[in-house]
C-alpha cells in the first residue's frame, strides 16, 4: 500500500470586531502605552462580544478553512479543537459545538488542552490520525475567548491577551513533497503553576469563596515564564532545523507563538533570522493563546505572502508547561 502523509491544505481565521488599545488600558489599570509597547510589543488586541463564544469564532474560522481547502463539511472526518477557554467547563466539548454549528454530523470531535501550544499539539494529532490511515481530512482549530478568564483589574496579565480563532484543514496525500517535514511536541508538568486558572476544577470547584478570591482568572508567573520560553524555544527550533538539515536562512516563514515581541526577537536573533522571515502579529492581536499561530498564518496567506510549497517553521510555548515546533510546507489543493 502506498504511504500516506499529512498535508497542510488551507488556513482560515476570525478576528472579533471590538478593539482594546493600550490607551484603553491606561484608563483601566496603572499602566502606560510606553510600558506595554516596550515590554511586550503589543499595541492593541481584539475582544469578543459578550454574546460571542469560543465556538462561534472557531466555526467562522473553520468555515473559511474548509472552503479554501476546496472541501465541504461532509469531507471532514475528524475535528480537533485546541482551546483553554471552552464554551463550557467541561462538557460538552467546544469541538462538538463547532461541529454542530458547521453541520458536521457523526464525526469524531474532541478538545485538546495545551494552552498556547494547543494548535501545534493538534497538528501532531492530525498527522498521526492521517498517517495511520484512520482519517483523511482533519479540521484543526485553535480558538480562544481569553477575555473570559482575564482579570481586567490585574495589570500584569490583562494587557497581554486577546481573542480570536484560526483553523486549518490537514488532508491525506501520497505526494511526499506536500508532507509535514517534521513536528514534535513536549511538556514539563513540574512548571504546572506558571500559568494557571485555579478554578473551576476538581481542586477548586466553583464556589463563592473561589469567585471572591478571583480564582477563575488566569494567573501567570510572567518573568519566570518569559525566561523559560526564550531558553526552551531557542533550543527547540535549533534542534528541529538541525535534525532536518535545514538552515535558518532557508525558512521563508518563521511563525512563532505571539506572546511577547521580546521573546520572538530573542529567538529570531539567536537563529540569525532576517526580519522578513519572522511573522509578527503580536502588536495587533496580543497573545491569543492557541489561536495565535493559525491567525498569524492566515495573515500572511491573506497578504499573498504564503505561496504553495513554501516552508513554515512553527514554534510555540505555553501553560503546562508545553512547547512544540514544526516544519510544514503550505500545500493547497491545486
* Interface contacts to ligand UT7, rule CB under 6 A: 31, 35-36, 39-40, 116, 155-156, 159, 222-223, 225-226, 229, 259-260, 263, 287, 317-318
Q: Active-site residue numbers?
A: 116, 257, 287
Residues 59/166, Cβ–Cβ less than 8 Å:
no
The dihedrals phi and psi of 134, each to the nearest 5 degrees, come to -75, -30
State CA 234 to chain mean position distance: 18
Residues recorded for the chain? 334
Smallest separation (angstroms) from ligand UT7 to the CB of 34 = 9
Residue with cell 488551507: 10
Residues 148/289, Cβ–Cβ less than 8 Å:
no
Residues 53/88, Cβ–Cβ less than 8 Å:
no
Residue with cell 491606561: 26
Smallest separation (angstroms) from ligand UT7 to the CB of 164 = 14
Which positions ≥6 away from 30 have C-beta within 8 Å? 155
Nearer to ligand UT7, 178 or 236 (CB): 236
Smallest separation (angstroms) from ligand UT7 to the CB of 222 = 3
Query: CB 215: neighbour CB atoms within 10 A?
Result: 19
Which positions ≥6 away from 27 have C-beta within 8 Å? none
- What does DSSP say about strands 311-318 and 322-329: parallel, antiparallel, or unpaired? antiparallel
SS (H, E, C) 3-25: CCEEEEEEEEEECCCEEEEHHHH
Nearer to ligand UT7, 136 or 155 (CB): 155
- What does DSSP say about strands 137-145 and 253-256: parallel, antiparallel, or unpaired? unpaired
Nearer to ligand UT7, 35 or 110 (CB): 35
Which positions ≥6 away from 308 have C-beta within 8 Å? 330, 331, 332, 334
Nearer to ligand UT7, 69 or 279 (CB): 279
In order of 138, 155, 259, 330, the CA distances from 179 in angstroms are 14, 43, 28, 9
Record the cell numbers describing residue 18, joined without a space.
Answer: 471590538
Nearer to ligand UT7, 7 or 220 (CB): 220
Nearer to ligand UT7, 92 or 222 (CB): 222
Amino acid at each position: 500500500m502506498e504511504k500516506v502523509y499529512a498535508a497542510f491544505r488551507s488556513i482560515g481565521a476570525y478576528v472579533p470586531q471590538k478593539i482594546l488599545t493600550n490607551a484603553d488600558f491606561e484608563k483601566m489599570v496603572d499602566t502606560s502605552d510606553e510600558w506595554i509597547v516596550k515590554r511586550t510589543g503589543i499595541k492593541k488586541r481584539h475582544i469578543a462580544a459578550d454574546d460571542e463564544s469560543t465556538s462561534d469564532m472557531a466555526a467562522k474560522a473553520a468555515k473559511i478553512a474548509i472552503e479554501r481547502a476546496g472541501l465541504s463539511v461532509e469531507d471532514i472526518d475528524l475535528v480537533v479543537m485546541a482551546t483553554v477557554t471552552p464554551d463550557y467547563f467541561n462538557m460538552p466539548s467546544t469541538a462538538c459545538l463547532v461541529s454542530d454549528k458547521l453541520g458536521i454530523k457523526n464525526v469524531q470531535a474532541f478538545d485538546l488542552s495545551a494552552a498556547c501550544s494547543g494548535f501545534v499539539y493538534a497538528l501532531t494529532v492530525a498527522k498521526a490520525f492521517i498517517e495511520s490511515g484512520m482519517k483523511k481530512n482533519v479540521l484543526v482549530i485553535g480558538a480562544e475567548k481569553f477575555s473570559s478568564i482575564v482579570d481586567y483589574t490585574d495589570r500584569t496579565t490583562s494587557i497581554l491577551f486577546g481573542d480570536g480563532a484560526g483553523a486549518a484543514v490537514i488532508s491525506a496525500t501520497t505526494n511526499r513533497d506536500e508532507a509535514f517535514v517534521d513536528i514534535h511536541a513536549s511538556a514539563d508538568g513540574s512548571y504546572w503553576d506558571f500559568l494557571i486558572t485555579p478554578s473551576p476544577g476538581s481542586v477548586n470547584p466553583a464556589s463563592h469563596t473561589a469567585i471572591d478570591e478571583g480564582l477563575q482568572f488566569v494567573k501567570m508567573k510572567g518573568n519566570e515564564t518569559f525566561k523559560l520560553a526564550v531558553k526552551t524555544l531557542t533550543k527547540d527550533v535549533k534542534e528541529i532545523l538541525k535534525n532536518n538539515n535545514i538552515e535558518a536562512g532557508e525558512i521563508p516563514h518563521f511563525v512563532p507563538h505571539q506572546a511577547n515581541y521580546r521573546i520572538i526577537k530573542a529567538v529570531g536573533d539567536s537563529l540569525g533570522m532576517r526580519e522578513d522571515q519572522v511573522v509578527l502579529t503580536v502588536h495587533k492581536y496580543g497573545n491569543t493563546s492557541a489561536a495565535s499561530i493559525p491567525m498569524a498564518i492566515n495573515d500572511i496567506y491573506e497578504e499573498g505572502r504564503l505561496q504553495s510549497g513554501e516552508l513554515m517553521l512553527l514554534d510555540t510555548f505555553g501553560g503546562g508547561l508545553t512547547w512544540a515546533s514544526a516544519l510544514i510546507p503550505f500545500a493547497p489543493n491545486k
